[in-house]
Amino acid sequence: MKTNATDESQQLSELPTSIPDSDDVDGWITRRRTFYYPFALDFERLLSRYPPFEDYVNTTWKISEEELRSVQDKRFRAQAERGWQIPFYRRIWSATGLEPGDVDGLDDIEKLPIISVYDLRADLDEHPPFGTFQVANRSWGNETPLRLVTSGGTTGVPRPMFYPAWDREVSAVIGSRVFYLHGVRPGMIVHIANGLSTVNGGIHGMECIWKYCGAVPLTTGGGNATPTDMQVQMARAYGSDCIVGFADYVRHIGERAREIGIDPAVDLNIRIVSTMLGRQDRGYLEELYGAKVFDSYGTSEVGGHVSTECEAREGRHVLEDAYHMEIIDKATSQRVPNGTPGSIVITSLFKAAAPMIRYNTNDLSAFIDGTCECGSAMKRHDAIMGRTDDLVKIKGMWVHPEAVGEIVAGDARGNREFVCILEAVPRGRQMVDSMTVLVEALDGTDRASFASDLQRSFKSQFGVTVEVQCVSPGELEGWTEGSSARSGKTRRLIDRREKD
Ligand SMILES: [Zn+2]
C-alpha cells in the first residue's frame, strides 16, 4: 500500500484509538498483575469518590457543611479502624487506655493522642528502616505498585514513606483541584521548579499536572537539577504559562531573569505562580512576574496539598473531603478559637498505607471565620506564619526567621537574602543564646547604616537585640542552600548551639 502524507496524518489522528482493546490485551498479557499500573486500581471508582480538577469544583466543592461533615465522618471511621491495624497507632492509642470502638466517629477524634514528627522519628529508630507507622513495605510490591518518597533529610537519613497506587492517585487528584483553582487549564505548560529527587515535591506536582489537569508539566526541578539561567531560558523558549515552586526559589528565578536581561513580566508568558507563600511578599512576586500568585499548603507526611486559595484568595480552604484539620494551642494541645494562631493538626481521610491521624505539623496558622465568596463551605485558614519549631527564644523573647525575612525584604538596600545564625555565647559564667542575621547588601550600600537600621527594626518588632552583619550579593548562597537544597527549600535558620 502506498503511503503518502495524508495517510500518515490520518494514522496520527487515529493513534488514541489504535491501542488494542481489552480483548487484544488479553492476547499478549497473560496475567493482569495488580502491580501493572492500569490494573492496580478501579479508576472509575476512585474518580467518583474523589473527583479531580474542574469536576471537583462543580461538585464536592459546593456541598453543604452537613454533607461535608457526613463524608468526613464516614472516611474518618475507616481511617480510625485502619489505625488499629497499624502497630504504631495500636501502641500509642492503647497506651492511653483506648480500645477499638472507643472512637466512634469524628465527634470522638479528640480522644486520640496527637502525634508528630518526633513520634515518627522514634518509631523509625526503633524499627528501621521503614518503621511500624506504615503497613506497606516491600512485600506489598506483589499487591500494588509502590513509590518510596522521603522527607528532605536535614539530619541523617531522610524519613521514608511508601505510597501504594491508591494513596498516590488520590493525592495527585487532590493536587489537580488545587491547580484548577489556581487557573491551570488543559494545554498549559506548567513549569515545576520543586526539587526532583526522593522528596515528594516535584514528582507530586508532575503527577497532578500530567495525569489529571490535561496540562503539560515541565519538570525542571530545583536549581541543582536545572541551573537557574537554564530555567529562565526554558520558560521563555517553551512559553511556560504557570510556575510551581517554593516562593524563595521562584523569586530567585525571576530576579535572575532580570539580571540576564529578561524581564519576567514582559518577556515570559508566566501568568500564574502556584506556590507555598508562607509570609513572603505576594505583591513583590506578582510585580516581578506580572502574574497572579496563589498560595497553597501541604506537607509530605500527609500526602501533598492539604489546603489552597480559591479565586477569591481570602484564605486557604482545607480540602475537607480528603483531610480533617484542627488548630491547637502549642502548650495545652487544646483547640483554639477561630482567629487565634496555633499548630496545624491534620488527619488524612484517604491514606491506606500510612494514615496520618492527628498529625501535628508544627506549622502555625489560624482558622478564618465566615464564608468565602466562592461559595464553598470548606473551612479556611490564614497564611502559614511559620513553624513552631523554628521559633527561637532569645533573652526571653520569641523571634521567628520568617518575620526577620519580612523586615529584610522591606528594605531596598538589600536583595532580600538573609540567614539567621543562632549561637550560644558566654556572658559572665553563663552561656546565653544569641542571634546574628546575615544580610546581602547591594553594591554601593552604606553597610553600617543599613545594618543599624535593620537592627533597630528587629528590636522594635521582637523586643530584643540581634546582631546584623552585611555581606555581598551571592555570599549566602552556600549557607541558605545547605542540606535542604534537595527539597528546593531555602534554609533560613542555622542553629550552632551545642546540643547535649
Ligand atoms: Zn473560596
Find the 375 Cα to ligand 1 centroid distance in Å.
6
Using DSSP's 3-state secondary structure scheme, residue 393 falls into strand
Pair 211, 172: CB distance under 8 Å: yes
Find the 370 Cα to ligand 1 centroid distance in Å.
11
Pair 434, 424: CB distance under 8 Å: yes
In DSSP notation, 16-33 reads GGGS--HHHHHHH-S---
Find the 367 Cα to ligand 1 centroid distance in Å.
13
Q: What's the pLDDT at 490? A: 72
Find the 307 Cα to ligand 1 centroid distance in Å.
11
Cα angle for residues 243, 175, 257 (degrees, 5° grid): 10
Find the 300 Cα to ligand 1 centroid distance in Å.
24
Find the 269 Cα to ligand 1 centroid distance in Å.
26
Find the 316 Cα to ligand 1 centroid distance in Å.
8
Cα(183)–Cα(180) distance, rounded to whole angstroms?
5
Find the 452 Cα to ligand 1 centroid distance in Å.
42
Residue 56 amino acid letter: Y
pLDDT in tens, the chain (500 residues): 444 556 666 666 655 555 555 555 556 677 888 999 999 999 999 999 999 999 999 999 999 999 999 999 999 999 999 999 999 999 999 999 999 999 999 999 999 999 998 899 899 999 999 999 998 677 788 889 999 999 876 556 789 999 999 999 999 999 999 999 999 999 999 999 998 988 888 999 999 999 999 999 999 999 989 999 999 999 999 999 999 999 989 999 999 999 999 999 999 999 999 999 988 899 999 999 999 999 999 988 898 999 999 999 999 999 999 999 999 998 899 999 999 989 999 999 999 999 999 999 999 999 999 999 999 999 999 999 887 767 777 887 778 888 888 889 889 999 989 999 988 888 888 888 889 999 999 999 999 999 999 999 999 888 888 999 999 998 988 776 544 444 556 778 888 886 53
Helix axes 201-212, 165-181, angle to 10 degrees: 80
Cα(194)–Cα(192) distance, rounded to whole angstroms?
6
Find the 48 Cα to ligand 1 centroid distance in Å.
23
Residue 125 amino acid letter: D
Looking from the CA of 432 toward its CB, the CA atoms found within 13 Å total 12
Find the 374 Cα to ligand 1 centroid distance in Å.
4
Find the 245 Cα to ligand 1 centroid distance in Å.
22
Find the 95 Cα to ligand 1 centroid distance in Å.
41
Using DSSP's 3-state secondary structure scheme, residue 138 falls into helix
Find the 61 Cα to ligand 1 centroid distance in Å.
9
Pair 470, 437: CB distance under 8 Å: no
SS (H, E, C) 268-327: CCCCEEEEECCCCCHHHHHHHHCCEEEEEEEECCCCEEEEEECCCCCCEEECCCCEEEEE
Find the 378 Cα to ligand 1 centroid distance in Å.
8
Find the 317 Cα to ligand 1 centroid distance in Å.
7
Find the 338 Cα to ligand 1 centroid distance in Å.
17
Find the 428 Cα to ligand 1 centroid distance in Å.
55
DSSP for residue 137: -
Find the 331 Cα to ligand 1 centroid distance in Å.
31
Pair 78, 106: CB distance under 8 Å: no
**Backbone phi, then psi, for 247, in 5-degree steps?**
-55, -40
Find the 311 Cα to ligand 1 centroid distance in Å.
7
Cα(164)–Cα(38) distance, rounded to whole angstroms?
13
Q: What is the widest separation between alpha-carbon atoms in the chain? A: 95
Residue 149 amino acid letter: V
Query: Cell numbers at residue 413, please?
Result: 538596600
Q: Which residues contact 195 (CB under 8 A, 6 or more apart)?
A: 152, 201, 202, 221, 222, 224, 225, 485, 486, 487, 488, 489
Q: What's the pLDDT at 106? A: 97
Find the 56 Cα to ligand 1 centroid distance in Å.
13
Find the 65 Cα to ligand 1 centroid distance in Å.
14
Find the 314 Cα to ligand 1 centroid distance in Å.
7
